[in-house]
């Protein structure tokens, strides 16, 4: 039976809807949505909402997830405004059944924020995401890691409007949250340093990114030694900030030299990675008009 025929059969049986029909509609919706068949998934979602309403009532908590799915499908159909309506219905049901600070509200508000961004309603997107952030503060404390994805989404909202001050505030707060959780000099902090460095690079704050890469390198050296391969991303990051600046200072060259040394001294390094590091160093010398030095790493 085709998906269209299956939906027709479900619709014909709606007068006797119960667990079997509701589950079948839900499975059809998920299958069609995963396949990108949003028009058919929309019909399945509407049937799921109809069956769930008949079985549990129009104010039931069982309708929350169907309306969230409906919002996602509407966005897949490029109808973000209808997505917002579905998410709002889910939010109303959550408030009614679970309260305004329910953890379930966070995902709904994030979906709403994305839908508003697709409508280019940045103020509404920021308001939804800020509300989601506040809920995590209420439930987990202000310095909680669960809010990190929300901070990234807020950063994108503010960056889209040219508000770099607000975008920076969200990203630096994210680092503070990680410092509170892991400490300021532990290897567990390194991914957060890279994360903020990536934002600084994207926003043209290369000196700030370089400082973070250098801090990451220092932490890794202290924890694992001077020749540990985990140094490579930090060292390459330092070099790339100079390349992007077009300044090609010695510190960047030295960082690339160290990358070749780290690969050369490690028994577990991949030869292709070592070769790539030599090519990168050679390219640096070519870009700085040191032709003789450029040939040395390429010959190894």
* CATH number of residue 300's parent domain: 1.25.40.10
Number of domains in the chain: 1
Element (H, E) at 187: none
Give residue for tokens 């039976």.
1
Domain that holds residue 213: 183-300
Query: Please, are residues 151 and 173 in contact by the beta-carbon 8 Å criterion?
Result: yes
The answer to the question of residue 82 being in a domain is no
In a domain, 63, yes or no: no
* Residue 54 located in a structural domain: no
pTM of structure = 0.88
CA–CA dist 69, 55 (Å, integer): 18
Q: Which residues of the chain fall below pLDDT 50?
A: 1, 8, 15-16
117 belongs to a structural domain: no
What pLDDT does residue 287 have? Answer: 81
Residue pair 50/17 in contact (Cβ under 8 Å)? The answer is: yes
Does any domain span residue 234?
yes
273 falls within a domain: yes
User: What is the model's pLDDT at position 108?
Assistant: 98
Asked if residue 278 belongs to a domain, the reply is: yes
| Nearest C-alpha neighbor of 261 from the set 292, 295, 231, 218 | 231
Q: Residue 145: exposed, middle, or buried by beta-carbon count in 10 A (0-12, 13-18, 19+)?
A: middle
The structure tokens listed for 166 are 């607000």
Domain assignment present for residue 19? The answer is no
8 Å CB contact between 104 and 132:
no
């Amino acid at each position: 039976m085709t998906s269209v025929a299956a939906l027709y059969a479900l619709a014909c049986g709606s007068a006797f809807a119960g667990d079997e029909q509701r589950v079948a509609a839900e499975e059809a919706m998920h299958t069609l949505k995963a396949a990108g068949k949003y028009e058919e998934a929309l019909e399945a979602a509407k049937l799921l909402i109809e069956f769930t309403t008949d079985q549990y009532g129009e104010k039931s908590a069982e309708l929350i997830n169907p309306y969230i799915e409906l919002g996602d499908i509407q966005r897949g159909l490029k109808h973000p405004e209808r997505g917002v309506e579905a998410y709002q219905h889910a939010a109303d049901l959550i408030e009614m059944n679970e309260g305004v600070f329910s953890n379930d509200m966070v995902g709904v508000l994030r979906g709403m924020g994305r839908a508003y961004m697709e409508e280019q309603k940045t103020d509404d997107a920021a308001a939804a995401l800020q509300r989601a952030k506040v809920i995590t503060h209420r439930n987990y404390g202000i310095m909680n890691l669960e809010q990190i994805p929300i901070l990234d989404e807020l950063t994108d909202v503010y960056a889209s409007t040219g508000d770099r001050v607000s975008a920076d505030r969200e990203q630096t707060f994210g680092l503070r949250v990680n410092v509170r959780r892991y400490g300021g000099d532990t290897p567990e902090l390194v991914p957060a340093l890279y994360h903020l460095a990536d934002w600084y690079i994207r926003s043209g704050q290369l000196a700030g990114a370089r400082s973070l890469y250098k801090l990451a390198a220092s932490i890794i050296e202290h924890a694992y030694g001077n020749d540990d391969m985990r140094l490579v991303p930090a060292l390459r990051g330092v070099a790339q900030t100079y390349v992007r600046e077009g300044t090609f200072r010695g510190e960047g060259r030295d960082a690339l030299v160290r990358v070749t040394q780290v690969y050369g001294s490690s028994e577990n390094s991949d030869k292709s990675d070592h070769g790539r590091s030599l090519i990168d160093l050679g390219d640096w010398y070519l870009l700085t008009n040191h032709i003789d030095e450029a040939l040395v790493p390429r010959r190894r």
